[in-house]
Amino acid sequence: MKLSKKSDYAIRALIYLSMNYQKGAVQIKEISAKERIPQKFLENILLTLRKAGVLNSKMGLRGGYELARSPDLIRLGDVIRALDGTIAPVNCVSQMSYEPCSEELTCVIRGVMMDIRNAITDVLDTMTFADMCKRAKDSIEKRENSSLSYVI
Amino acid sequence: MKLSKKSDYAIRALIYLSMNYQKGAVQIKEISAKERIPQKFLENILLTLRKAGVLNSKMGLRGGYELARSPDLIRLGDVIRALDGTIAPVNCVSQMSYEPCSEELTCVIRGVMMDIRNAITDVLDTMTFADMCKRAKDSIEKRENSSLSYVI
DNA sequence: CACAAATTCTACCATACTGATAGACATTCA
DNA sequence: TGAATGTCTATCAGTATGGTAGAATTTGTG
Q: Is the Cβ atom of A24 within 7 Å of strand D at any atom? A: no
CA Rg value for chain B: 18
From A16, A53, A46, select the one nearest A31 (Cα to Cα). A16
Tens digit of pLDDT for each residue in B18-35? 999 999 999 999 999 999
Round to whole Å and give the CA distance between B135 and B149.
17
Element containing residue B56 per DSSP (H, E): strand B55-58
**What CATH number should be reported for the domain whose range is B5-148?**
1.10.10.10
CA distance B108 to chain A (A): 6
Chain A interface mutation, best of B1, B79, B129, highest count of A Cβ atoms under 10 Å: B1
Read off the pTM.
0.85
**B3: nearest nucleotide, CA–C1' criterion:** C18
Q: Could you give the residue ranges of the DSSP H alpha helices within A4-57? A: 5-19, 28-35, 39-51
Q: Which nucleotides of C are covered by protein (CB under 7 A)?
A: 4-11, 18-23, 26-30
Given this model, what pLDDT does residue A104 score? 44
- B114-119 average pLDDT score: 83
Given this model, what pLDDT does residue B25 score? 97
- Give A121's contacts (C-beta < 8 A, 6+ positions apart): A77, A87
Given this model, what pLDDT does residue B120 score? 85
Given this model, what pLDDT does residue A139 score? 73
Tens digit of pLDDT for each residue in B63-86? 999 999 999 999 999 999 999 887
Q: Is the Cβ atom of A148 within 7 Å of strand D at any atom? A: no
Q: Is the Cβ atom of A1 within 7 Å of strand C at any atom? A: no
Q: Is the Cβ atom of B90 within 7 Å of strand D at any atom? A: no
At A112, is the pLDDT very low, low, confident or very high (cuts 50, 70, 90)? confident
Interatomic separation, CA of residue B61 and C1' of nucleotide D2, rounded (Å):
11
